[in-house]
Structure 1
Amino acid sequence: MNWVEFGKQTILDPRAAGAQLVRMHLPRDAGWSLLALLAILNGILYWALLPAEFLTAPLDGPVALTLVVGVALLLSSATLTLAGRMLGGQGDFDTLLRVTIWLQVLRLVAQIGVSLLSLALPPLAALASFAVGVWGLYIVTCLVTEAHGFSSLLRGLAVIGLSFIAAVMFLAVLLTLVGVTPQGTI
């Protein structure tokens, strides 16, 4: 498979790309390895790009950020699966893991591109970041809709909304358990 062409298809025709992603076979070990690699790459990128004020203990290094990203990716796959099933979807965890991994690859490429653009043309980078965010939500909605076999994008959007609420609640509890609170560390 030509991944660059698949990336273009995902941007230009996300429903077709979603259907192809659902049919794609990815061995479970490869999925876990890709998830770990993406968590590491994102942890390093966040550590390099986030302001120092944000990086307080225990989230002050790339290892901690990698763990948070890894948990968030797993949580996304699980909540997208469960929320979709609650709404009558057919997607399983492996399918939603593939969707999450592919979305994360696209997001990582976009984030690097916007970061580089911000070095040369900050106002244009802000506009590009907004456009990527809006179109990215459409892409996520299309891929989740296809992963669950829904005919309506509204159902896919509802899955994303339910998944987001569940993930925020889980991460709030998790971060509190490791000592991160709104007032700072415990």
Structure 2
Amino acid sequence: MKFTDLGDLMVLTLRNPAHAVEVLRGLELTSGERWMVLMLAATLSSLLAGLARVMFPVPADDALSAILSSPVTLAGLQFAAMTISAGAVTVIGRAFGGQGEFEDALLLIAWVELILVGLQAMQVVLMLLVPPTATLMSLVAFGLSIYLTIAMTKALHGFTSTPKVALGLIGGVFLVATVLSVIAAAFGILPEVAP
């Protein structure tokens, strides 16, 4: 696959996510290659976040901010979160009669993250050139991530109802957030809340 093919696939993903899912499956990537795509997505996202933090430092003294200030730690956390998300998409989807496989979910989660990395890079540039538009780009990225996750999950599992997939996604997000909060609390990295 050439670099221009990636651009075409990105456009296809935005226009017709279901067809993009078929194309991604058709690549027949090995399990190791899918994990490498996930690692690439986590690494690029963390590097861009680290670059933005260096360019626009935000003072913070809690444990969570200290952990997230390290690109290596942030990449590890993103990698873990995307893996958990792929697992949740697979398990919850199958619980409702879906046919998706974990390795396909892993690839789709990684691909959506790579698209968001492109938007993240644009946001860093906009923060330099036109700072007020950077917030708008954050909203666009958030909306796009929800749209793509719902559309690609629907295609992954062969579902027909977008509202049901959206409800499943919301439930899954709460479930994953709860699990991650418990893990964070176990390691003592949640920010302290004043009584």
Query: Are residue 42 (structure 1) and residue 51 (structure 2) matched?
Result: no
2:34 to 31, 36, 53: 31
Secondary structure of 2:65's counterpart equals coil
User: What 5-or-longer segments of structure 1 have no aligned partner?
Assistant: none
Give the Cα separation in 2 of the matches to 1:131 and 1:39: 20
TM-score of the superposition, structure 1-length normalised?
Answer: 0.88
User: What 5-or-longer segments of structure 2 have no aligned partner?
Assistant: none
Give the Cα separation in 1 of the matches to 2:48 and 2:169: 25
- Report how far residue 90 of structure 1 moved: 0.7
**Equivalent position of 1:60 in the other structure:** 69
Change (3 A) 1:132 1:58: closer
Quick check: 120-129 or 90-99, which moved more?
120-129
Give the Cα separation in 2 of the matches to 1:162 and 1:56: 27
- Contact kept? 2:39, 2:79, Cα under 8 Å: yes
Tell me the number of residue pairs that the alignment of Structure 1 and Structure 2 aligns: 184
- Report how far residue 52 of structure 1 moved: 4.2
For the aligned residues, what is the CA RMSD?
A: 2.0
Greater than 4 Å deviation, 4+ residue runs: none
User: Partner letter of residue 3 of structure 1?
Assistant: L
User: Partner letter of residue 98 of structure 2?
Assistant: G
Query: Deviation string for 1:62-116 (max 9, x for gaps)?
Result: 1211111111111111011111111111111011001101001001111111221
- Contact kept? 1:95, 1:147, Cα under 8 Å: yes
TM-score of the superposition, structure 2-length normalised?
Answer: 0.85
**Equivalent position of 2:102 in the other structure:** 93
Change (3 A) 1:43 1:178: farther
**Equivalent position of 1:102 in the other structure:** 111
Give the Cα separation in 1 of the matches to 2:82 and 2:26: 21
Quick check: 127-136 or 91-100, which moved more?
127-136
